[in-house]
Structure 1
Amino acid sequence: MTDLIIAIALCVAVAIAYATAALIQARHAHLSVRELVGVPVLWVALGLNGLGAALHVTSLGFGPLSLIQPLGVLTLVIAVPLAALMARRRVSRLELSGVTYTVLGLTGLTLLISTGGGTRTLASGELVGLLVATAALLTVLGLLGRRPGASTLWEAVAGGAGYSVCSALCQTVVVTVGAAGATALLRPIMILAILGIGVFAVTATVLTQRSYRNGLGAPLAVTNLVNPASATMIGVVLLGERLGTTPVEVIVAAGCALLSGFGVARLARARNVDTALAAPAPSPEDLSVVGAPSTARCASR
C-alpha cells in the first residue's frame, strides 16, 4: 500500500513538473531558437522536463506500468487550468469538455493497448533504421508546421514521436549497460544511440515549443496522444512486443482514439474562440471611416 501511495505521489509530481514546463514554453513559443537560448526561464523549463523524466523512471520502481502510464494524462489536467489561472481567467466550457474527452480517451487507450513480451534491445540495423526514419519524419512534420497558416499540431505530432523514439533508445542503452556493464557505452552503436537521444530530445523540445505558439491545450493533448501510441508501435514492430488485447478491445480502443481526437478538436476550437474574444473592438474612428462611403452614397442620392 505504501508503494502504491508513493507511485501515485510521484506521478502527480511528474505531471506538475511537465505541466509547469509546458506553460513556460508556451509563454515563449513566439521566440526563435536563437532568442530562446538567452531566456533564463526556458532553462528552468528544460530542468523541469528533466526532473519529470527522472521522477517518471523512479515511479516505475514503486508501481506497475499499467498504473503509471494512465496517470500521465494528469499533465493535461493540470496544464490547462494552470494556463487559465496564469491568464487570470476561468477555464471555459470548451476547454473543460476538451480536456475531459481527451483524458477519457487517453486513459482508455492506455488501459486497453498494452504490450507483452520480454524486454529486448534494438539490434544495430534496427537502431540505425529507426534513427534515419525518425530524422526523416521529424523533418517532414517540421516543414509542414512551418508553412504559412499551417496547424501547429504538425509540430506537436513531431514532438510526441521524437520523445517516444528517445524512450526506445534509452531503453536500449539502459538494458545493454545493465547486461554488459559500463564498457558497453564505448561501442560505436551505443555512442550513436546516445547521440540520437541528445539530438532527438533537443529537436522534440524545440518542435513542441513551437507547437504552443497558438495555444497550449490542443498541442499538449496531441503530444500526450502521439507519444504512447508511437512508443507502442516501436515496441511491437522493433522490440518484439505484442499487443495484449482482444479484437473487441481493439475496437473499443479505436473508439477511445476517436474520443481523444474529438477532445483535441474542442481544445483547438477553444483557442480560436479565445482569440476571437480577445480581438480589440473597432474604435469610433474606425467605425466612422467604415461608414463614410455609405454616407457619401446616401448624400449623392
Structure 2
Amino acid sequence: MSDMGIWLGIMFAVLSCTAYTAAAVAQRRLAVRVTAPLTGRRQVVGLLRHPLWWVSLVFNGGRAGFQVAAVSFAPLTVIQPLGVLVLVFGIPWSARLGGRRVSRAEWRGAAFTVVALGALLAVSVTNGQGGVLDTPDSVLVGVGTTALLLVTAWGAGRVPSTAWRSYLLSGAAGVAFGVSSATVKTSVAVIADTGAAGLAHPATLATPVIAILGLFLAQAAYQGMDLGAPLGITTLTNPVAASVVGVAFMGESYAGGWVGGAVALVSALLAAHGIRLLTVPQGTARTEAVADADRRHDSMPS
C-alpha cells in the first residue's frame, strides 16, 4: 500500500468525520426544536417534517460514502483512531450554535475521551483478514441486532434519568452503525458476485433497517442532552460492535492480544470518566449561556 494511498485514506477519513460531526450537530439542533420524546407516531411524523432531519440524513450519507473510500485506501488501524475527531470538531461547534461557551469540565471530558478513544480504537481492531457474513449468520446478525435495538429503545423509554436514557440510546445507535458496516461489506461483496440477486440477501435487507434504527436512536439520545456524551458513547460503541461481529461471524481475529485487552479496559474506564464530564443537560447548558450573558452585561460600562 503506497504512502499516497494512505494519505488519501486519511483525507477521506477526515471528510467522513466532518460529515458525521455536521450530521450530529444537526440532530442535536433538531432535538432542541423537537423536544417531545420519540415514543409515538405524532412525534416521529413531526420529526420527519423538519428540514434538519433531512439535512442530517444528507450528511450521514456523505459520512458513509467517505468512510467506504477511506477504508479502500488505508487500513483500519489508520482510519479507526481518526474517529475521535468528531468530538474535537463537534463539541465546540455545538456549543457555539447553542450560544454558550464550552465549560472547563467539557474540555477536560473531551480530552479524557479523545485520548481514551484513540487508545481503544487503536487496539480494538481485527486483523482484517476475514470474509463476509454467510446467509445464516446474516439472518442471525440482522434479526438479533434489530431485536436488541428495539428492546433497548423500549427499555430506555422507561428510564427516568435523562442522562442514562441518553447513554442507552447512544450506545444502541453505535451498535447499529457498527453492525451496519459489517452488513454493508457483505452486501457489496454479494452483489458484486451475484448481481441483482444480491439485493435479496439477508445482509442487504438488514442494512437499511439497522441503519435507520440507528439514526432514530441517535436522534432520541440528543433529547435533553448536549452533544458530547451521546456522541462520545456512539463513537466508542461503533467500532467495538463492528469488531465483535467481525471476530464472531466473519472469520477475523482480534489483533490486540492480552496487552491490547488490558489497554482497552483502562481506556474504556477513562472514556467513561470523560463521558461523565461531558454530560451537560439542556437546562444546564441554557443556564450557563444565560449566566455568561449576565456576566458580560455586568462587565459593560454604564
Q: TM-score range by the shorter chain?
A: 0.7 to 0.9
1:159 and 2:169 correspond: no
Deviation at 1:230, TM superposition (A): 1.0
Change (3 A) 1:171 1:142: same
Q: Is it true that 1:185 corresponds to 2:198 in the alignment?
A: yes
Report Cα offsets for 1:196-239 as digits up to 9, x if no partner.
Answer: 11111111101100100122110111011111111111111111
Residue deviations 1:82-103, cap 9 Å, x none?
Answer: 0111123221111111111111
Show the 5 A alignment for 1:36-47: 36-47=47-58
- Tell me the TM-score normalized by structure 2: 0.85
> Structure 1 residues 165-174 or 119-128, which shifts more?
119-128
Distance in 2 between residues matched to 1:270 and 1:143, nearest whole Å: 22
- In the alignment, what sits opposite 1:129? 140
Q: Which residue of 2 aligns with 1:290?
A: none
Query: Which of 268-277 and 90-99 deviates more?
Result: 268-277
Q: Give the distance between the partners of 1:203 and 1:137, measured in 2 at CA.
A: 11
- The equivalences for 1:10-29 within 5 A come to 10-29=12-31
Note the C-alpha offset of 1:114.
Answer: 2.2
Candidates 32, 49, 58, aligned match of 2:60: 49
| Aligned twin of 1:284 | none
For the 8 Å contact 2:9–2:79, the answer to whether it is kept is: yes
Superposition deviation, residue 177 in structure 1: 2.6
Which amino acid is the alignment partner of residue 102 of structure 1?
T
State the Cα distance separating 1:147 from its structure 2 match: 1.6
1:248 matched residue in structure 2: 259
RMSD: 2.0
Summarize the Cα distance change of 1:250–1:40 in structure 2 as closer, same or farther, 3 Å threshold.
same
Distance 1:249 1:200, change over 3 A: closer
**Counterpart mapping for 1:55-204 below 5 A:** 55-116=66-127, 118-147=129-158, 149-150=160-161, 151-178=165-192, 180-185=193-198, 188=200, 190=201, 192-204=202-214
Q: Compared with structure 1, are the counterparts of its residues 47 and 243 closer, same or farther at alpha carbon in structure 2 (3 Å cutoff)?
A: same
Q: What is the distance in 2 between the residues matched to 1:143 and 1:98?
A: 29
Structure 1 segments, 4+ long, off by >4 Å, are 269-273, 275-280
Q: How many Å separate the matches in 2 of 1:154 and 1:113?
A: 21
Cα distance, 1:4 vs structure 2: 3.7
Q: Deviations over 1:58-87 (max 9, x none)?
A: 122332221111101111110101011112
Matched, 1:219 2:219: no
State the one-letter code of the partner of 1:203. Answer: L
Q: CA deviation at 1:276?
A: 5.4
Aligned residues: 276
Identical columns (%): 34
Equivalent residue of 1:120, what SS? Answer: coil
Larger Rg: 1
Contact residue 4 and residue 63 of structure 1 kept, 8 A: yes
* 1:97-119 deviation per Cα after TM superposition (whole angstroms, max 9, x unaligned): 11111111111011112212533
Matched, 1:261 2:272: yes
Distance of 1:255 and 1:272 partners within structure 2: 32
**Which structure 1 segments of 5+ residues have no match?**
281-301
Mapped contact 1:105–1:256 kept (Cα < 8 A):
yes
- Over 3 Å counting, the alpha-carbon distance change for 1:61 and 1:136 in structure 2 is closer
